[in-house]
Structure 1
């Protein structure tokens, strides 16, 4: 029996430790919907109770005396709620257990035994049990108010039996040198009512199976002794008053309400999406509509109603038409070149100045008329001899070329088709050592194209 009991305790601890570890892990991690950890609930509670003790168990019968008697008992416990339906409870029980042989045997005869009665003082009974909530009365509500629970665990009991011998009324202390200590297995069930967030009414019944046959101080038969405790008490929850008790929280109802809320949120989101899609479709139709067929949406078309086939800009308006008359550039002929050479040969300036002498006006007028009539382009290049400073000569050559351009423009020539450049004394066509050579170097060249 000792070995069987040890194996049973080992199994209980093996099952309990992972549950406690799981609960501790889950309290630190947020879980969606159903349970987000115990930090929002009260998980610790203490209880006190009083009731009746009896050396009997419904599942195992009585002990070694034919009649058991009920005696007053008392108890207290500390409970830690790990999950909605699972808690760990440490119990303490004390009181007296009594019985005698005043009840007839099964054959109708009175028992003939050495001891007439016993009284055992249960000095203490300490156990650690797992408590499971197996049913709730109001399962449609988030917070329950009635629970049915079962419990099982293991512990240790300390007691001292006193025996009364038959016919002599002599009392014998079964263990005069101290207290008997035996392993116990408590198995119980109960009904709990929620009175408030702070107080619960606890009605319970627990059977205690001993690993020994000495609870009544007498060995009779092969069965182990046992005792039961039926009680009523109050349980007080510990923690902030605004937090609910975890044991009364209904996860099925919480999950159901969460699913209903999620369904409503999804339905609302679906309706919003449909409305948004309808608006988007209307906006797309508006953006794609093009009544005048010019390729520009009516939404951006600033000139609706344009004629078919007319080229338009990005705003849907007609592109501006080019009204500039097309100019036909004619080929330069020998006669044209002769006319320009005549102007070059007759071009004279005031000495040291950019002013054109009147004798050169006639040939220049004919050049201007040629440029207007045939839309030719003209390049003017001014040159000087090497008399004087090079910088002054460069400036003078530019001024003379520009002077010719201004004269031609003044006679109606297109200024954009005339280019005037000065080269100074850098490009002589004759020697600057003679007067005749220097005369040739003081010139303005025409390039007609």
Structure 2
């Protein structure tokens, strides 16, 4: 097994990893290698739209190879298998073709600096039936599997002539679960196997284990969201710790049972399973790699971690695309300083607020003001804020000219389709 070397190696092409690779290349740092197990990038905040029926082409899917060629960094498909921090090299697992045969064997790649931007996953929390009966929403593949079950489930429900609504239960009241529920209940394309007019009515129930819907959200925003969901017919049940998931219902410790033709498990966020298998890099109880305020691993100064898979001991950042993007911007300035043996400044997260789109139930958000004041956004103003965040991401990935062209295409090409959401 040969070992190759690169200067900066970034594992994970999500919002943080991809933006970092582009920012470094754009500033002239050409010895940058981005690694991802997929060949294409979809911005994570839009994955729930794939689950509701939008196609990849409608959510700005981009090829890593094309972006690498455009900006001048290297890209290679692969999945992280191990890291030798002392030897400054990582190992990628063998790459299989669609028939399960080995297409590319294990590879070793050396590095001067390594950035882990792998993201996180949804934990099953040891609840019976979750892995077998529920669906999660961690990546594009999950989203497409969810829509396939949703779509075929609607068709089967209609063919059976059932008079009751098609029941969707979403466990967890975080942003992803709430937005997916609102989209399914009000604005989803529906099954692709039958016309919308012949599909059954859909009822959505959101279960939250704590006594607060959307814990951690600003009270005024939370109340506005809850009111809009209620108007859309979505039921919200708090103090419902799930004890068991079966093929047709969700049971809770409170003794309640909820009929579920489709169960979506969106309860919490932890680091990737690979974090448990890599020796020498410390993690917290949520399987996130522990890092210093400079985003360097507490065990190795050459290894940096950003996004959902990292945890800053002194002041943790939230597991959001916003935080990952800010960390990418920070590392784009600090990595060159590290490689030049200069002192690093600590990362400081600047919360810009939260924005959510609730399908036909409207848009809601809160933006942090320059002087500490919070601005509550509703309706068209909130939608404009979503568009602004998407444009910012597109401009980083595509540049000003192509980013502008994409924005114009969105305005004129997507009015006939379902409403889109960015946060």
| TM-score normalised by the chain length of structure 2 | 0.16
Larger strand percent: 1
Which structure would you say has the larger Rg? Answer: 1
| TM-score normalised by the chain length of structure 1 | 0.16
